[in-house]
Amino acid sequence: MRVLVQRVSEAAVTVDGRISGEIGAGALLLVGVEEADGPDDIVWLVRKISQLRIFNDADGVMNRSLLDCGGDALAVSQFTLHASVKKGNRPSYSRAARGEISRPLFERFVDELSAALGRPVPTGVFGADMRISLINDGPVTIWLDSRDPE
């Protein structure tokens, strides 16, 4: 699984003109699932995201996590994170898992992250055409890939 983490002052996802999920200060999570992903990938990512120290402490040093500061998380399914542009100029999405595989894994990721944070994690609408608005704070943007955990 791949997750692009963006520290935000606020973020929202809209589908058909209706807000399906929104947060204040916290992290916008764009989540991509590939065919080989499973429960171990979710466990690693949930632990990493909930404990990732990307929020400022009293001295202005990024030393606090979502757990430490009580920040929110907004998760949006994003199959294009597995795009390959090695051949030509049109991206290939062959590594991205099909919906019947990726939807349950995305939903489990959201459930486990909600449990780890102790509060609901709002989402977009799986497979929908979504509009995301955000105020990137910093900006701070971190790339996580469970296939490359080092």
Q: Which of 14, 51, 55, 79 is catalytic?
A: 79
**79 classed as catalytic:** yes
Q: Which of 6, 51, 55, 80 is catalytic?
A: 80
Q: Which of 6, 14, 51, 78 is catalytic?
A: 78
**14 classed as catalytic:** no
**The pairing of beta strand 2-15 with beta strand 18-23:** antiparallel
Q: How many CB atoms are closer than 10 A to CB 138?
A: 13
Provide φ and ψ at 66, rounded to 5°. Answer: -55, -40
Residue pair 146/29 in contact (Cβ under 8 Å)? The answer is no
From 150, 132, 141, 118, select the one nearest 50 (Cα to Cα): 118
Count of residues in the chain: 150
Q: How far apart are CA 88 and CA 70, in angstroms?
A: 44
**109 classed as catalytic:** no
Residue pair 81/32 in contact (Cβ under 8 Å)? The answer is yes
**Which residue's structure tokens are 């995301």?**
132
Active site residues: 78-80
